[in-house]
Structure 1
Amino acid sequence: MATADRPKARQSQLVTTYGVGALFPAGDQSFMICGIDQWDDRWSPTVEEPRLARSLGVHTFRSPASGKRTGDVPVVRFPTYHYCPGCRRLDRYWMFDPRKMQCQNCVRDLTPSRFVACCENGHIEDFPYFQWIHRGSELPAGPHEMTLESQGASSSLADIVVRCSCGAPPHNLDGSFGRSALSDIKKCGGKRPWLPDAPDELCEKPLRTLQRGSSNVWFGAVRSSISIPPWSSPSAQFVTKYWAVLEHLPETALVQALPGMIAGRTGLAIDSVVDVVRQRRGLDTSLQPSDKDLRDEEYRALLDGNDGGPLDTFQCVTVDVDVRVRALVAQVSRANRLREVRALHGFSRVTPMPTDTSNPRLARLSESHLNWLPATEILGEGIFVRLDESAVSEWEEQSLAEERHELLARSMQRRSTESGAPGVAAPSARFVAIHSLAHALLQELSLDAGYPIGSLRERIYAEEGQAGLLIYTASSDAAGSLGGLAALADEQRFADSLIAALSRAGWCSNDPVCSESGPSGTDGLNLAACHACLLLPETSCEHRNIFLDRVALVGDIDSMTGGLVSDSW
């Protein structure tokens, strides 16, 4: 493939949207990103974040290769079934002209199959067209040349017909998306096309038909962490960069070697570097902190703040809280500098799985365990808000909070029963309310700061004893570096933004339907939330736009009572 024809993606997309095992659309072609054991790591810059690396059981991270002079991220062509839009012939792409990806007879560009077959263990293969058309009948002898035709009457599956030259009765694709539609004709073969050299796995999960471009073909398991003191300081950055050398130096030799190593570097002192080396040596590398452990450390760091120097990647300063919002808000902090690292450590298909590293159903990124994972780093700014703990605790004890939580718990139980997936506890009422507040506030801050809403992101801290949210720039491109978001933490400006956000949340253009509807959205995991009020772009919500409820925030639509903020104004 010529260089100009190669598909292109941003570095961040190759971790979050088009990671390993995902299908990447490139014009009229479709590719799958290969496993990291196929990557040429000489062209993948190192991304260091010791806390996150320990939690994922690796030594370091690497960002995908970028730039015209560096190596490419390897891909394979998938699905392998293609058809000619001229003669409608359906076959593996190598049975046509694989060099030009054209039909030899029609000289037309090939179109990849719209459908694939996946299982919940992350395996994926071509839709079994051959088995579909020959089901329920003996396989006739002779050549089998298939065609894929559209009747043109509608865009439904019933108007897409598969035919075979052997004389088997034609079959349309109606019913092919049923939960057990493929159970009797094709078992999961354990295919892992993103690992070209890996053998197939044994798998007992049923195959499900999905559209090639649907969102449930790939759910990335991404874990992120914000760099916090002491690991955000210039000294820690220096130690991380040269850790392979510093790790093995005795302290006496370390003190002797450092003057030459740090000469000409600003913001570094021998004592501070030695302190960081001691702290890093004291880490128990056998322990893998969970995502909750990382969040707890971040929450404490955001509460304490950090002035830092000009080179520190974590600068967070507490500002005054306007008297108009003190009934709800206990602390507002201006985060002038933040560094976030996002790492991909697995993925799932069909239904999203818990992203815990011990989950055996997450598909692996490489055939063998490597000491690194793909990651991307983002430098930005943000606003941290801590709510008044007593106000949140009192609200949790009210009947409305308990009723809304029970509705959500029943939806999660129903999803578990229908999908056969292990049951997961419903998030707390505290989490749902703070999450909903974050969505409302993020939309308002986007308007005030001038950022595209997709370039802002939330981070929720709602464990027991926590009641905080962080809104920060989440884009690594130009839209994430405009500046001005942290300035909105100013006492009066933040209060104006929060009051406006809650005023907007009090009424949705889809009310009363929105506020009075039962469980809605993905698997019924939202309550009062729709695209006209709380839903955000996928890049902005770390929980895939679920666990939202505007009523929990502003109260019953008729009386405007019982919500977290109902009694705060």
Structure 2
Amino acid sequence: MTLAKARRSQLLSTYGVGGLFPAESTSFMIAGLHEWDVDKAEHISEPRLARALGVTELKAPPAGGKRDVPVIRYPYTQVCPKCRRIGALSQLSKDKNVAKCKVDNVDLSPFRLIAACRSGHVSEFPVYWWLHKGQQDKIRGNEHEMRLNVLGRTSSLGDLTLSCTCGVEDRSLEGAIGSGSLVDFGKCSGLRPWLGLETNEECDQYPRAVQRGASNVWFPAVRSSISIPPYSEALAKFVDRNWEMVKEPDAVIPPVLAGLAAMSKGRFTVEQITREIERRRGEEDDDEEISETKLRADEYKALVEGRDEEGLDSDFVCLRRDVPDGFDFLISDVRKVTRLREVRALEGFTRLDGAPDPSGPGQKLCALAPTRLHWLPAIEVIGEGVFLAFRRSVLDEWASGDFAQKRARVLQQAADRAAADYGRPSAPVNIVKVAVHTLSHIIIDQLSLDAGYPAAALRERLFVDDKMAGLLVYTASSDSAGSLGGVASMAESERLGAALKEGLQRLSWCSSDPVCIESGGSGADGLNLAACHACVLAPETSCEMNNAFLDRALLFGTHDEGCEDAGLFSELVERAL
């Protein structure tokens, strides 16, 4: 069989540890980090993010050789497409390591259903118990050779029926993935096959049947940071790559320093390396916790301060540009980011309940290894973008108005309901962040037209708390659409002003209006108000909040009496019309 292949980025976003990887006619699960060959993993320099995640090192998933990332066959329940027998691989095949039917000598196919719980555990779908439930009195004999028959009418689960040689009546799989369908078979077994057979946990959840290819089987918890000075400089990255050699004070001796200078091939002197080691050691001795809030605050500060183009080795070039005419009432700063580097690291994953929000309430994540390791898998992306900073005082005054507060209360009620349904703490809704988030989606949509990039190649990064308000729209693709300069060029005053005016005017109306603008709750768990696929919803890869907490009415107002001019850009759009 041809070896399954995946890009490095997919091992964080689509098929990471604990996720299912389809390959030809079979299916695999990516094994835990403890099984990976760490020596083949390339070091990625980003000390701020590593400290925030509680590890000492970030490494790129190994690539370039055969069997770089270990996998296990999952699910273990297989079906023969010819004789239709269904059962464990060891029952259907002569060799438990080869998925080939011992009767018909054809490749076996993995069963399409598995069981999962909200705590992240997975197990095989209880095929035997599903078929034999309530029919114990009809069982004749001890042989149970089951078959999965296809009626051929539709592709639904109701068209698949199970039968057994023991004489029980056939039963279809209709209703198997419904809520509570597996309650009668007991609580979750706590299995974590990606970590090994002996790593099951106590679990009080009831499992739920899901299709193995469903999107809710695996949600990655990805944390990211942008490299900012001094971490974006070549000297800092060089010292970070060799930190294990010099992290102990006793190791910093002249021969070691001279060796490092020689390794840099003349780029850095002994004095420069010594200063960087001392700076880095001072950070290591600082016990301050680096939270997500701290990461964003540091990045916001670096973006506002800007950085001229100095040298070719910097991964952070941020140039000041003028605020477009007509927008200085709200926008305080514009930056043309001609080069930036983003590092994304996988810290865990969840199942069933949706992707976790890094800035939201804490959520228990599934472990990537049986014990805590010193490293996590990560990737780096080089790109460019446009940064906007907003006048916080103007936003605060607007947010305190009746219109914004009313919209905030509706979203808060939806957030509280969703939190109660999922059994996790509810976070307060920041209506300023909702407004900035919605504007970010409008900019992404407009830049995809003006700059010629697909919307999925653009990504947002929001900087909103009680003291700051800003957004960065940047290229997030590692392919040819990654850093062509088209997005950064839109930061020029005339181009940005024209793009903002056109985007705001165009999306002030939606083809689904008045249904969209009058919506009292839309999207997953009702966490959006005036937002739909015809206006401000963006590709999943572009939005860092999973297309939630969006409300176009905050920017343009509604048709209700007294609310026509309540949006942040209502007056500007009216003048344009």
* TM-score bucket (shorter structure): over 0.9
In the other structure, the counterpart of 1:417 is 420
Work out whether 1:248 is the aligned partner of 2:248.
yes
1:228 aligns with 2:225: no
Q: Aligned partners of 2:22, 2:9: CA distance in 1, in Å?
A: 16
2: CA distance between counterparts of 1:106 and 1:567?
A: 73
Tell me which of 519, 531, 540 is aligned to 2:521: 519
**2:172 is the counterpart of 1:172:** yes
Rounded Cα–Cα distance in structure 2 between residues aligned with 1:176 and 1:299: 48
Tell me: CA distance 1:157–1:262, structure 2 relative to 1, closer, same or farther (3 Å).
Answer: same
- Percent identity over the alignment is 43
Structure-1 residue corresponding to 2:307:
306
The answer to whether the 8 Å contact 1:341/1:376 transfers is yes
Contact kept in structure 1, 2:363 and 2:424, CA below 8 Å: no
The letter for the 2-side match of 1:52 is L
Note the alpha carbon deviations across 1:105-136, whole angstroms, 9 max, x for none. Answer: 44443222121110111101111111111222
Cα deviation, residue 356, structure 1: 8.3
Q: Distance in 2 between matches of 1:85 and 1:256?
A: 63
Q: What is the DSSP-based 3-state SS (H/G/I as helix, E as strand, rest coil) of the residue aligned with 1:278? A: helix
Change (3 A) 1:281 1:192: same
Equivalent residues, number: 564
* SS of the residue 1:480 aligns to: coil
Tell me the distance in 2 between the aligned counterparts of 1:278 and 1:391.
42
Change (3 A) 1:236 1:84: same
Deviations 1:428-452 (A, max 9, x none): 1011111111011011112222222
Check conservation: 2:261, 2:270, Cα contact below 8 A.
no
Matched, 1:373 2:376: yes
Residue 181 of structure 1 is matched in structure 2 by 181
Whether the 8 Å contact between 2:334 and 2:386 is mirrored in structure 1 is yes
Task: Describe the SS at the equivalent of 2:340.
Answer: strand
Distance 1:95 1:359, change over 3 A: farther
> Using a 3 Å threshold, how does the CA distance of structure 1 residues 349 and 263 change in structure 2: closer, same or farther?
closer
Equivalent-residue separation in structure 2 for 1:151 and 1:417 (angstroms)? 41
| CA–CA separation in structure 2 for the residues paired with 1:339 and 1:557 | 43
Choose the corresponding residue for 1:385, options 370, 384, 388: 388
Show the counterpart of 1:115.
Answer: 113
Q: Which amino acid aligns with 1:130?
A: Y
Contact 1:386–1:469 (CA under 8 A) maintained in structure 2: yes
1:87 correspondence with 2:83: yes
Residue range with higher mean Cα deviation, 437-446 or 139-148: 139-148
Secondary structure at the aligned position of 1:374 is classed as: strand
Partners of 1:514 and 1:55 in 2: CA distance: 39
Q: Say whether 1:452 aligns with 2:454.
A: yes
- Cα pair distance change 1:262/1:328, threshold 3 Å: farther
Aligned residue for 2:517, secondary structure, equals helix
TM-score by length of structure 2 reads 0.92
Q: Which SS does the other structure have where 1:161 is aligned?
A: strand
1:255 deviates by 9.7
Structure 1 residues 547-556 or 58-67, which shifts more? 547-556
String of CA shifts for 1:70-114, please: whole Å, max 9, x gaps: 651111111111212333221123333356533344444322212
Match of 1:329 in 2: 331
In structure 2, the residue matched to 1:273 is 273
* Amino acid in structure 2 at the alignment position of 1:126: E
Q: Output the CA distance in 2 between the equivalents of 1:260 and 1:12.
A: 31
- 1:538 aligns with 540
- The residue that corresponds to 1:57 in the other structure is 54
Report the counterpart of residue 341 of structure 1 in structure 2.
Answer: 343
Tell me how far apart the structure 1 counterparts of residues 119 and 253 of structure 2 sit (CA, whole Å). Answer: 51
Q: CA deviation at 1:12?
A: 0.8
Q: Which of 453, 462, 465 does residue 464 from structure 2 map onto?
A: 462
Could you tell me which residue of structure 2 aligns to residue 566 of structure 1?
A: 570
Shift of 1:361: 2.9
Q: Secondary structure at the match of 1:130?
A: helix
| CA-CA distance at 1:162 after TM superposition | 1.8
How far apart, CA to CA, are the structure 1 residues paired with 2:342 and 2:257? Answer: 31
SS at match of 2:186: coil
Q: Which amino acid aligns with 2:293?
A: K
Shift of 1:152: 3.3
Task: Classify the secondary structure of the residue corresponding to 2:81.
Answer: coil
- What is the CA-CA distance between 1:390 and the residue it aligns to? 2.8
1:230 touches 1:276 (CA, 8 Å); kept in 2? no
399, 402, 407: which is aligned to 1:404? 407
Query: Which stretch shifts more, 286-295 or 44-53?
Result: 286-295
State the SS of the aligned residue for 2:407.
helix
Q: Which moved more, 1:242-251 or 1:540-549?
A: 242-251
Equivalent of residue 8 in structure 1, options 5, 9, 16: 5
Question: Residues of 2 paired with 1:547 and 1:314: CA distance?
Answer: 30
CA apart distance, 1:158: 2.9
* Contact 1:83–1:112, Cα closer than 8 Å, also in 2: yes
The residue type paired with residue 317 of structure 2 is: Q
- Structure 2 counterpart of 1:182, one-letter code: L
| Cα pair distance change 1:254/1:298, threshold 3 Å | farther
Partner amino acid for 1:425? A
Kept in 2: contact 1:246–1:254 (CA 8 A): no
Contact 1:43 1:70 in 2 (8 A): no
Structure 1: which 5+ runs fail to align? none
Could you tell me how far apart the structure 1 residues matched to 2:428 and 2:344 are? Answer: 25
Number of the residue aligned with 2:237: 237
- Residues 497 and 311 from structure 1, CA distance in 2 versus in 1: closer, same or farther, beyond 3 angstroms? same
Q: Distance in 1 between matches of 2:325 and 2:359?
A: 41
**8 Å contact from structure 2 (residues 146, 164) kept in 1:** yes
Q: Give the secondary-structure state (helix, strand or coil) at the position aligned to 1:531.
A: coil
| Structure 1 length-normalised TM | 0.93
Task: Tell me the SS of whatever aligns to 1:189.
Answer: coil
- 1:306-336 CA distance string (max 9 Å, x none): 2242211111111111213222221110111
Contact 2:85 / 2:92 at 8 angstroms: preserved in 1?
A: no
Residues 446 and 503, structure 2, Cα contact 8 Å, conserved in 1:
yes
- AA aligned to 1:485 is V
Q: Cα RMSD over matched residues?
A: 2.4
Unpaired runs of 5+ residues, structure 2, are none
Q: Following superposition of structure 1 onto structure 2, how do residues 343-358 of structure 1 map, counting pairs within 5 Å?
A: 343-352=345-354, 353=356
Which of 36, 40, 48 matches 1:39?
Answer: 36
Q: Structure 1 pair 22/436, CA: closer, same or farther in 2 (3 Å)? A: same
| Whole-Å separation in 1 of the counterparts to 2:114 and 2:364 | 20
More displaced 10-residue stretch of structure 1: 347-356 or 259-268: 259-268
Counterpart amino acid of residue 508 in structure 1: C
Q: Return the offset for 1:551.
A: 1.2
Return the alpha-carbon distance in structure 2 between the equivalents of residues 332 and 549 of structure 1. 24
How far apart are 1:137 and its partner, in Å? 3.5
Which residue in 1 is equivalent to 2:134? 136
Displacement after TM superposition at 1:30 (Å): 1.2
- For residues 81 and 186 of structure 2, the distance between their equivalents in structure 1, rounded to whole angstroms, comes to 27
Q: Deviations over 1:273-297 (max 9, x none)?
A: 3332222111236544111111111
